[in-house]
């Protein structure tokens, strides 16, 4: 699986495993996963995360590095999680914006059908007229939407023909506008760097992050207590196993 297709949680787990492996620390995958979920909690202070990960590590490695050696590694893990969280939130915001655009465009009249009904000359003339109206060089632009009655002396047929022509003009202009938006949207999809995305909705990014913080804050303390209890039990089990091994060894020595 490519990095851009891998979920942020798995990328963080791989980062943690690689970071500790570089320090010659063998950490089981289950413990790596637990550390990753702990670091992802938004309601826990950074200092508590450092202490928590260090405590988890103490329970699974035989020789624990000094704090001066292990703390920078844990800090790097926390920084990596923050970076991945921003990327994930931006991706969610882009997906929401794309879905919103698609829904809006699907609700409009068929762009291709309208434009296909025009000859090349009519299409060129319509584009020119739409551009002129956009800058108010001719009547009927966006700032001059008005409905006028037929001139005096005009027949009913002439009035209806004028009305139909005006409705078609508006339909063509709307089709041209949507076609232009689609081309701009396809161009944006070729941008690789999320920070260069013109329509990136940072308000949605902030809203997603705020919702995540609110949701995690309610369970952060319970998760921390549960992790601590698991670590305490693990240490107790290890101490008991060590004591049992010592007793067994002593019995064997006495028998010998």
Query: Is there a contact between 59 and 84 (Cβ–Cβ < 8 Å)?
Result: no
Determine, yes or no, domain membership for 63. yes
Burial, 189: exposed, middle or buried (Cβ in 10 Å; 0-12, 13-18, 19+)?
exposed
Residues 67 and 161 in one domain: no
Is residue 139, in this structure, part of any structural domain at all? yes
Q: Do 123 and 51 belong to one domain? A: no
Which residue matches tokens 């010998």?
A: 256
Q: Is 83 within a domain?
A: yes
Helix, strand, coil % in the chain, rounded to nearest 5: 75, 0, 25
Least confident of 180-184, 204-208, 251-255: 204-208
139 pLDDT more than 90: no
In a domain, 144, yes or no: yes
- 92 and 125 within one domain: no
Return the pLDDT at 159: 75
State phi, psi for 74 to the nearest 5 degrees: -70, -40
Compute the mean pLDDT over every residue in the chain, rounded to the nearest whole number. 75
Do 44 and 27 have their domain in common?
yes
- In whole angstroms, what is the distance from residue 121 CA to residue 125 CA? 6
pLDDT value of residue 108: 56
Clarify whether residues 57 and 124 are in a common domain: no
Question: What is the pLDDT confidence band of residue 13, given thresholds at 50, 70 and 90?
Answer: very high
pLDDT over 70 at 98, yes or no = yes
- 121 and 189 belong to one structural domain: yes
Give the domain extent around 119: 109-195
Cα within 13 Å of Cα(108), Cβ side: 22
Q: Which residue has the tokens 């001066």?
A: 68
User: Domain check: are 100 and 171 in the same one?
Assistant: no
Residue 61 lies in a domain: yes
Domain-located, residue 243: no
Tell me if 253 is assigned to some domain.
Answer: no
Is the same domain home to 116 and 137?
yes
| Same-domain status, 22 and 83 | yes
Number of domains the chain contains: 2
> Do residue 82 and residue 173 come from a single domain?
no
Query: Is 75 within a domain?
Result: yes
Residues 85 and 174 in one domain: no
Band (pLDDT 50/70/90 cuts) for residue 158 is confident
Please name the residues in contact with 23: beta carbons below 8 A apart, sequence gap of 6 or more. Answer: 65, 69, 70, 73
pLDDT at 182: 61
Least confident of 56-60, 62-66, 126-130, 240-244: 126-130
97 and 13 together in one domain:
yes
The string over 54-82, giving b where at least 16 C-beta atoms fall within 10 Å of a residue's C-beta and e elsewhere, is bebbebbbeeebeeeebeebbeebbebbe
């Amino acid at each position: 699986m490519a990095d851009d297709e891998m979920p942020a949680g798995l990328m963080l787990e791989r980062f943690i495993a690689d970071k500790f492996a570089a320090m010659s620390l063998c950490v089981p995958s289950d413990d790596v996963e637990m550390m990753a979920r702990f670091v992802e909690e938004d309601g826990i202070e950074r200092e508590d995360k450092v202490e928590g990960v260090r405590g988890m590590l103490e329970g699974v490695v035989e020789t624990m590095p000094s704090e001066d050696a292990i703390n920078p590694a844990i800090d790097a893990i926390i920084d990596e999680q923050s970076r991945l969280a921003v990327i994930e939130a931006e991706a969610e915001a882009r997906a929401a914006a794309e879905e919103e655009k698609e829904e809006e465009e699907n609700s409009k009249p068929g762009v291709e059908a309208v434009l296909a009904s025009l000859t090349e000359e009519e299409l060129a003339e319509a584009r020119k007229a739409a551009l002129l109206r956009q800058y108010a060089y001719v009547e009927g632009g966006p700032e001059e939407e008005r409905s006028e009655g037929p001139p005096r002396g005009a027949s009913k047929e002439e009035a209806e023909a004028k009305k139909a022509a005006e409705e078609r003009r508006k339909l063509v202009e709307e089709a041209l506008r949507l076609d232009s938006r689609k081309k701009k949207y396809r161009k944006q999809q070729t941008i690789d760097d999320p920070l260069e995305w013109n329509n990136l909705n940072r308000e949605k990014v902030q809203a997603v992050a705020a919702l995540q913080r609110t949701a995690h804050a309610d369970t952060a303390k319970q998760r921390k207590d549960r992790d601590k209890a698991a670590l305490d039990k693990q240490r107790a089990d290890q101490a008991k196993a060590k004591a049992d091994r010592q007793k067994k060894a002593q019995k064997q020595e006495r028998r010998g």
